[in-house]
Structure 1
């Protein structure tokens, strides 16, 4: 699958956050989430495994009640059903990889 960035229709799951569904197939899905400074990805959980990479900017990331400051180049793993969320400390971008795919994101754009 080849997907051109300019062909992706962005969605806005929460105020100040723009989400783009990247390439996906099999059990994998890539998602780009762009945050404006102060935007909050609310604490939530899901049955998917997730690996996230901070592409740019910085976040206060919370996992199971513990808070971390993460910056460009940092990454994290989320176990299924683990509570997690993030607040952008500046304009920032996260690349999320999910398995299985987040079917709840499809059509949410």
Structure 2
């Protein structure tokens, strides 16, 4: 699968964030999430998905399990099954999320 960003499915999540579905195949899915300063990815966990995230641009306050850190462009984190995690954008920021297996719920919510 080859995805050009101009053709990728984009979904507005709320007034401060949007999601772009990038490549997916096999059991993997890659998603770009853009946040305005102050945007929040609420604390949540996945019982059926692992997640690795990479900070592409900006900075976030990131909580994974009991640990909270400030991460900036180039940093990353892993949230395994049932591990609570969430982010708050400290400036306009972009995060790249990779899920295993892919998020069928994201496919259902496309615009």
Give the TM-score band, short-chain normalised: over 0.9
Counting helix residues as a fraction of each chain, which structure ranks higher? 2
Partner of 2:3: 3
- Give runs of ≥4 in structure 1 deviating > 3 Å: none
Q: Distance in 1 between matches of 2:108 and 2:10?
A: 11
Gaps (5+ residues) in structure 2?
none
Partner of 1:51: 52
Q: Distance in 2 between matches of 1:103 and 1:26?
A: 12
Partner of 1:37: 37
Partner of 2:97: 96
Counting strand residues as a fraction of each chain, which structure ranks higher? 2
Gaps (5+ residues) in structure 1?
none
Question: Residues 43 and 84 of structure 1 are in contact (CA less than 8 Å); yes or no, is this contact kept in structure 2?
Answer: yes
Partner of 1:74: 75
Q: Distance in 2 between matches of 1:73 and 1:40?
A: 19
Question: Residues 14 and 40 of structure 1 are in contact (CA less than 8 Å); yes or no, is this contact kept in structure 2?
Answer: no
User: Residue 36 of structure 1: CA displacement?
Assistant: 0.4
User: Residue 8 of structure 1: CA displacement?
Assistant: 1.5
SS at match of 2:69: strand
Give the alignment's TM-score, normalised by structure 2: 0.93
Number of matched pairs: 109
Give the alignment's TM-score, normalised by structure 1: 0.95
After superposition, give the CA deviation of every residue in 1:46-88 in whole Å (9 maximum; x if it has no partner): 1211111000000000112321100000011111111000000
